[in-house]
Amino acid sequence: MEPVKHHTGLVYPLNRSNIDTDQIIPKQFLKRIERQGFGQFLFYNWRYDNEGNPKQNFSLNDPAYEGASILVAGENFGCGSSREHAPWALQDFGFKVIIAPSFADIFYNNCVKNGILPVQLPEEQTSELVKKAESGNYNLSADLKNQVVYDDTGFEASFEIVNYLKEMLLNGWDEIAVTLTHQDKIDAFEQAQEKTTSI
Partner 1 sequence: MPKGVTHMATPKTIIDKIWEQHVVHQEENKPDLLYIDLQLVHEVTSPQAFEGLRMKGRSVRRPDRTFATMDHNVPTVARHIINDPVSKKQMETLQKNCEEFNVPLADIDHPDQGIVHVIGPELGLTQPGKTIVCGDSHTSTHGAFGALAFGIGTSEVEHVLATQTLWQARPKSMNVKVNGQLNPAVTAKDLILAIIAKFGVKFGTGYVVEYTGEAIRNLTMEERMTVCNMSIEAGARAGLISPDATTFDYLKGRRHVPEGEAFEKAVDYWSSLASDEGAAYDATVEIAADEVEPQVTWGTNPSMCIPVSGHVPAPEDGHSAADKEEIERALEYMGLEANQPISSVTVDHVFIGSCTNSRLSDLRRAAKVVEGKKVHPSVKAMVVPGSQTVKKAAEAEGLDKTFTDAGFEWREAGCSMCLAMNDDIVPPGERCASTSNRNFEGRQGNEARTHLVAPEMAAAAAVEGRFVDVRSYLTAPV
Binding site residues, partner 1, CB under 8 A = 16-18, 20, 22-23, 26-28, 30-35, 45, 50, 74-76, 79-84, 87, 102, 104-106, 109-110, 113-114, 162-164, 174-176, 179-180, 182-183, 185-186, 189-190, 193, 197-199
Shortest Å, Cβ 125 to partner 1: 15
Residues in the chain, overall count: 199
Question: For partner 1, which is the closer residue by CB, 76 or 141?
Answer: 76
Shortest Å, Cβ 112 to partner 1: 9
Residue 99 phi, psi (nearest 5)? -115, 130
Shortest Å, Cβ 178 to partner 1: 8
Shortest Å, Cβ 139 to partner 1: 25
Closest by alpha carbon to 133, among 6, 13, 46, 2?
13
Residue 130 phi, psi (nearest 5)? -60, -45
Question: For partner 1, which is the closer residue by CB, 10 or 104?
Answer: 104
Question: For partner 1, which is the closer residue by CB, 111 or 157?
Answer: 111
Question: For partner 1, which is the closer residue by CB, 30 or 60?
Answer: 30
Shortest Å, Cβ 48 to partner 1: 9
Question: For partner 1, which is the closer residue by CB, 79 or 169?
Answer: 79
CB 159 within 8 A of CB 119: yes
| List of residues 6+ apart from 54 with CB closer than 8 A | 47, 48, 61
Question: For partner 1, which is the closer residue by CB, 66 or 174?
Answer: 174
What is the number of other CB atoms lying within 10 angstroms of the CB of residue 48?
A: 15
Side-chain-side CA neighbours of 37 within 13 Å: the count stands at: 6
Three-state SS string across 175-187, please?
HHHHHHCCHHHHH
End-to-end Cα separation, the chain, in angstroms: 35
Shortest Å, Cβ 64 to partner 1: 22
Distance in angstroms (rounded) separating the CA atoms of residues 93 and 64:
15
